[in-house]
Structure 1
Amino acid sequence: MDLNLLISFIGTVLILVWTPGPSVLLATANSLKYGAKKTTGTILGDLSANLIQIILASVGLATIITSSSELFQIIKWLGVGYLIFIGIKKIIVTPKTELKENNLKNRSFFNLYAEGFLMSAANPKAVVFFAALFPLFLNKDLPFVPQVVVLGIIFLILDGTSLLTYTYFATKLKGYLENKKKVHLQNKIIGSLLILSGLMLSLVRRTNN
């Protein structure tokens, strides 16, 4: 894989996964109520759903990557536009920061896994995200599957690390995550970085196009 594209991918994913969202809030809330150890079930459920979404989003991408340069450029610019769109959205939309309490005092690992899985799987935007993001970092002259596998593994590792960090520091982060002004300020910064990432990716000239 192109090293520059790989570094760009890692940077973009790091910005995205560290943004407090539904999965982060769920993992944090469950950690506070059930403990960090049990909350690994929630995290594994979220990552399992992401894995399925990556596979679903990758179906059909092989044709796009190996097709004409013109079609690939269209997909590329759609991806750039998507990054800029979600960046603008993070800047202007006030985040929801409520850490929902659950009335059940004791829940099994499987129940927490299912909750994390459904939280992520119920978000149709995730498939759109993966479909828009991955083509930007794929080289059409290289085997498709290995590239998707590498990018998928990197995404899952970074996402899992983010959720684990939020989980294990839940007590300290709870006050921060419930402060809409602080979260909104962070989202504005992250949104600006996403827009910058999209603009930078739009300037990348790939020799295989």
Structure 2
Amino acid sequence: MSFEVWLAFVAASAALLAVPGPVVMLLFSTTLGRGRSVSIAAVPGVVLGDFAAMTVSLMGAGAVLSASATLFTILKILGAAYLVWLGIQMWRTDAKPLALKTAARNRSRLTVFRQAFLVTAFNPKDIVFFVAFLPQFINPAEPPLAQIITIEVTFLAMVLISNLLWIFLCGTLRDGLKNPATLRFVNRLGAGCLIGAGAFTALGRNSA
């Protein structure tokens, strides 16, 4: 994996992680209800869940690459089209204030960890997304294992950092997540990222 492709992956991942989703809502609700010390227990659950989902996705992509470079190219093209479609759908969706619910005060750290893992590891939409998103940054002309390890380590490190930031900035960001203008900006940032990732493959910039 070239440094330029890695930077593109980091930029795309950072933009996507900035878009609040179910995991962020879980972190916020737990922080508001039980405090940061309990909410932090969710972070390793999210990281392990993403690791499981990414591994399944990348193993599937790796199997396709081993079977046929042509099939892998087709997978990347289909994935690129899916990302562009997701981006367009996200761009067209009206941003609505997020309903932040306070978590039950008797929720234990183990319960928070388990819930975070289940939310990320067994979400079919996440697996489909990873199948579409991650192969865009894999060069079939290079050894796949090193690229897969680089992608997983980079993304999981970013997930760890972003989740901790969400937790520690919960109080500051809570009002912003209720502001339609702020949500619209963040939503369209993520949408542009998805469209850009799809175009990245369509233009053939990462196939050299």
Q: Which residue of 2 aligns with 1:170?
A: 170
Structure 1 consecutive aligned stretches of length 4 or more whose deviation exceeds 3 Å: 66-69
**Residue identity in the other structure for 1:206:** S
Whether the 8 Å CA contact 2:49–2:117 is kept in 1: the answer is yes
SS at match of 2:40: helix
Q: Which residue of 1 aligns with 2:93?
A: 93
Whether the 8 Å CA contact 1:87–1:192 is kept in 2: the answer is yes
CA RMSD of aligned residues (A): 1.9
- Cα pair distance change 1:100/1:121, threshold 3 Å: farther
User: TM-score, normalised on structure 2?
Assistant: 0.89
Q: How does 1:188-203 map to 2 (within 5 A)?
A: 188-203=188-203
Number of aligned positions between the proteins = 206
- Cα pair distance change 1:170/1:145, threshold 3 Å: same
2: CA distance, partners of 1:189 / 1:137? 20
Q: Percent identity?
A: 27
**Given the alignment of the two structures, is residue 48 of structure 1 paired with residue 32 of structure 2, yes or no?**
no
* Residue segments in structure 1 that go unaligned for 5+ positions in a row: none
Whether the 8 Å CA contact 1:14–1:158 is kept in 2: the answer is yes
Whether the 8 Å CA contact 1:65–1:139 is kept in 2: the answer is no
Moved more, 131-140 or 190-199: 190-199
User: TM-score, normalised on structure 1?
Assistant: 0.89
2: CA distance, partners of 1:83 / 1:173? 27
Q: Which residue of 1 aligns with 2:110?
A: 110
Q: Which residue of 2 aligns with 1:66?
A: 66
* Residue segments in structure 2 that go unaligned for 5+ positions in a row: none
Q: Deviations over 1:54-92 (max 9, x none)?
A: 111122322322344432221111121122122112212
2: CA distance, partners of 1:62 / 1:192? 27
SS at match of 2:41: helix
**Residue identity in the other structure for 1:12:** A
